[in-house]
Amino acid sequence: MTKLTTHTLMMAIQAIDTKTKQLIQELDRVDDPELSDLEEDMLAFSKAQMELKKIYFERQQEIDNLPSYEDLVDG
């Protein structure tokens, strides 16, 4: 299996975080018929976010100068 580079991992985390925030905004303003599709998307992105976060924390143990996860998604 090809190892994900740290740069790609960081980019993926930021992209998933952005998409998750967009989905939260959409869920707040959507009509009921569209709700289930958005909820499914939210679940899928949340799962991906948790997996990437776990990998990032593991990577932080190997590399000293990585930003904190919070800085990565809030910065």
Domain extent for 56:
6-74
- In the prediction, which pLDDT does 73 show? 94
The answer as to whether 43 is a domain residue is yes
- In the prediction, which pLDDT does 44 show? 96
- Report the predicted TM-score, pTM, of the whole model to 2 decimal places: 0.88
How many domains is the chain partitioned into structurally? 1
Residue 22's alpha-carbon distances to 1, 30, 38, 50, in angstroms, are 31, 12, 11, 17
For the chain, give percent helix, strand, coil, nearest 5.
Answer: 80, 0, 20
pLDDT in tens, 36-64: 888 899 999 999 999 999 999 999 999 99
The answer as to whether 1 is a domain residue is no
**CB crowding 14-26: b at 16 or more within 10 Å, else e:** eebbebbeebeee
Residue 12's alpha-carbon distances to 15, 57, 68, in angstroms, are 5, 14, 15
